[in-house]
Amino acid sequence: MKTEREQRLAKLFARTHAGIKPGLELMRELLEALGNPHTKFLSVHVAGTNGKGSTCAMIESGLRARGVTSGLYTSPHLFRVNERIRINGEELADEAFFEVLDQVQAVEDSLSRYPTFFETLTAMSFLAFAEAGVQVAVLETGMGGRLDCTNVVEPLLSVITRVDFDHMGFLGNTLEQIAGEKAGIIKSGRPLVIGSQQQGVDPVLTERAEELGCLWRRAEERVTISGRKQGVEGQRITLSGDRAEYGRIRFPLLGKFQLENLCTAVSALEWVEDLLGLEADVKRMKQGLEQVQWTGRCQVLSVDPPLLLDVAHNPGGAEALRNSLQELFGKRAQGVLFWAGLADKNPAGFLKTLRPMISSCVCMELMSDRTLTSESLRSLAEKEGLSCQILTVNEAKQQAYSLIREADFGCVAGSVYLAGEWGGKGTVDMGERLQTAQD
């Protein structure tokens, strides 16, 4: 028998079946009915394809270390829906979660339509931040930017991380089209930080910023990282920014791609410090960066034998993961890929990118109606010349260490949802936990 709260969560997750409804009209209507909580705190708004969640976590950790009362809104979650809404580094407690859910549901009947799952969670985050007295909230877009329901804010600063192919049915079939949608978060006169970009993306972002009279900067031109040494315990680097020399720091997130995100985050943090009138503080900035946590990003589950977990799910993410695996284990290393994914994430491109590091696959299915079937994954693996077996996620977890004993490593990757199922934690049944394609 489910508890009353479990029943309420099940009803909330049932809204994922309504699909995606891009646009800001309903969100503005909902927030007006709630007293416009999004106007009661400052925000840093982050869009992009790869790295935006990690970048958000770094910015929030840096702000919190500076003594700023911080909020963090990200998606999707891995284990509990509360993870999406964090205040001063702590996920929203159950009591507060249901209190803001009550407030949203109390005004729903007056709206032109019922909000989607993502619209509901976004409104809840704004309420929670306003009621907690958050000074600066770091907000990750769900999908795209221009029509994403987080795009109702007038941010203190906008950030766009690396743009890649994703959600092409909604955002476009070229990088330039997708970049145009991400550029939709740029607001008139509000500053913009641009992360490292592929060819063709940067001009779309900078031209839009100049059209709107925004100051902008490229993070890679403002922040320098050198002297890198990496092991499974983290990365040691020397960091230099616009406002200060931070010297040697121990950065806990693995992968060269995370250093790209770090440059973007530090550039954003320094600009926010300036906008808030804060003096540079090397000690606290280093503390914030050294304490950042972001689960499921090149996360070491086991050292002997080596088993890693990563949420990479598209070719860009796979390239970053491949490079990290090569750095950790050598370019000739061969590992076992524990793989599951969603149909709209270019699985063929994902596998082709990882192929140089993979000797065999274990194909699994997710508890989602959008999952690729194990047979589909096996067909893709066989086209790449890989041996493959089909297991459930639970079977793969139980057999993982024996399956990788003869390999150089094992890697669990292909979907954020897979990371959640592999982790096996949570208060909500997995079938109810799965999020909308908007995440």
3-class SS of residue 405 = coil
Q: Decide which of 241, 272, 290 is a domain's last residue.
A: 290
pLDDT tier for residue 431 given thresholds of 50, 70 and 90: very low
Q: Assess whether 254 and 303 both reside in one domain.
A: no
Q: Assess whether 352 and 213 both reside in one domain.
A: no
Q: Assess whether 122 and 193 both reside in one domain.
A: yes
Q: What are phi and psi of 278, to 5 degrees?
A: -95, 135
Q: How does 33-51 read in b/e, with b if 16+ C-beta sit within 10 Å?
A: bbeebbeebbbbbbbbbbb
Q: Assess whether 56 and 117 both reside in one domain.
A: yes
List the CATH number of the domain containing 137.
3.40.1190.10
Q: Assess whether 265 and 336 both reside in one domain.
A: no
In a domain, 131, yes or no: yes
pTM of the entire structure? 0.82
In a domain, 438, yes or no: no
Q: Assess whether 264 and 310 both reside in one domain.
A: no
Q: Assess whether 284 and 303 both reside in one domain.
A: no
Sheet strand arrangement including 234-240: 224-231, 234-240, 245-251
Q: Assess whether 261 and 395 both reside in one domain.
A: no
Q: Which helix (H) or strand (E) holds 60?
A: helix 52-65
Please tell me the predicted confidence (pLDDT) of residue 79.
80
pLDDT tier for residue 170 given thresholds of 50, 70 and 90: low
Q: Which helix (H) or strand (E) holds 315?
A: helix 315-329
232 is in which domain, residue-wise?
4-290
Q: Decide which of 265, 290, 315 is a domain's last residue.
A: 290
Q: Decide which of 234, 257, 290 is a domain's last residue.
A: 290
Q: Assess whether 12 and 111 both reside in one domain.
A: yes
Q: Assess whether 19 and 158 both reside in one domain.
A: yes
What digits encode the pLDDT tens for the residues 328-345? Answer: 899 999 999 999 998 777
In a domain, 186, yes or no: yes
What digits encode the pLDDT tens for the residues 312-323? Answer: 888 888 998 999
Calculate the alpha carbon distances from 397 to 76, 200, 364, 392, 394 in Å: 22, 41, 11, 9, 5
What digits encode the pLDDT tens for the residues 206-218? Answer: 999 999 999 999 9
Q: Assess whether 354 and 253 both reside in one domain.
A: no
In a domain, 258, yes or no: yes
pLDDT tier for residue 21 given thresholds of 50, 70 and 90: confident
- Total domain count, the chain: 2
Q: Assess whether 305 and 207 both reside in one domain.
A: no
Both tokens of 70, joined, read 């911080």
In a domain, 127, yes or no: yes
- Check: CB of residue 234 under 8 Å from CB of residue 252: yes
In a domain, 439, yes or no: no
List the CATH number of the domain containing 371.
3.90.190.20
